[in-house]
Amino acid sequence: MVSVGIVGATGYTGIELLRLLLRHPEVAVRTVTSRSEAGRRLDDLFPSLRGQTDLSFVAPDQADLQACDLVFFATPHNVAMGSVPALLDAGVRVIDLSADYRLRDPELWSRWYGEAHASPELCQQAIYGLPEFNRDRLGDAQLVACPGCYPTAVQLGFMPLLAGGHVEPGQLVASCASGVSGAGRQAKIAGLFTEVGENFKAYGAAGHRHLPEMEQGLQQIAGTPVSLTFVPHLLPMSRGILATLFGQLRSASDDVQGLFESAYQQEPFVDVLPAGQLPETRYVRGSNRCQLAVTQPQGRDTVVVTVAIDNLTKGASGQAVQVMNIMLGLPEVVGLDGIPVVP
């Protein structure tokens, strides 16, 4: 059994990690940390875990994380970067679900996050954890930066088009909408039910922290500079992302349906829908599945890709478990083969 620890398990990605890892046949959760809930049983804070674990939260400075084989950071940005170097020196492998190591350029990170990076030397070392693109590099990885939820949907949607040079890389547009859990488990007025319910709004249109991550990944896929216009929206529901992507085809005669089916036919968690069908967030809820569809309206040179994922699963914790499976040499689907919850 592989011994794992989770740093910061009181948030939505943390509880999603616990939901998946406590049922994983090859994993033993050794320690779970929280500053605010130290000493409290997990199943007291999260009654959904009753009968699954008798663990209690431990304060981070009292947790023996170096005794773990692998540690997940399910924390806000700027937490992991202060602790990861010591864990790596101790031979512990790390999967970071925060934004601390997603950008390879620490100066770019500092511009978007407004502070100096605490371990900039590791930004180049971290492997970006999008399995469908970086699978071959994950097996030996010591530090993995798990992609953000919006970047996962956007990159999977554009990947076949950019990898084959089928669209103009300087004219990409992504209009994406996320459930409220994407903002984290914090008491904020903007996340209150009465503020979110019966409402739909855009935010971050002038610049969102996920934009440089997306452009970095899309450029690696395309092998050439890209330019992305990204506008996120807030959906009045708890979880899920629907991304609508637009690109200009270099040839309107391309078989885009066949292109996507061929690109993803061997991927266990990417489901290309038949022509004429469109994805919906409820059909991926609680699963590590990405459903997408590609359309060429009126046969013109604009291609539209629609992508649905669960922001907490394929967009965060499920993808982290998928990455862990690859790192451990396990089948990617282990612990992730649950069927989406409908309705």
Hey, which residues are catalytic here?
A: 149
Please give the Cα distance from 161 to 164 (Å, whole number).
6
Tracing tokens 């511009």 back to the chain, one arrives at: 111
Backbone phi, then psi, for 230, in 5-degree steps?
Answer: -125, 125
* Residue 96 contacts residue 117 (beta carbons within 8 Å): no
Please give the Cα distance from 274 to 307 (Å, whole number).
13
Identity of the amino acid at 118: A
Distance linking the first and last C-alpha atoms of the chain? 35
CA 108 to chain centre: 20
Please give the Cα distance from 312 to 299 (Å, whole number).
35
- CB proximity list for 212: less than 8 A, separation 6 or greater: 103, 108, 112
In DSSP terms, which residues pair with 73 in a beta bridge?
Answer: 7, 96
137 dihedral zone (left: phi>0; alpha: psi -120 to 50; beta): alpha
How many Cα atoms within 13 Å fall on the side-chain side of residue 155?
Answer: 28
Backbone phi, then psi, for 216, in 5-degree steps?
Answer: -60, -50
* Residue 213 contacts residue 285 (beta carbons within 8 Å): no
* Residue 234 contacts residue 200 (beta carbons within 8 Å): yes
Return the ∠ at Cα 118 (arms to 117 and 120), rounded to 5°. 65
Return the ∠ at Cα 98 (arms to 96 and 100), rounded to 5°. 85
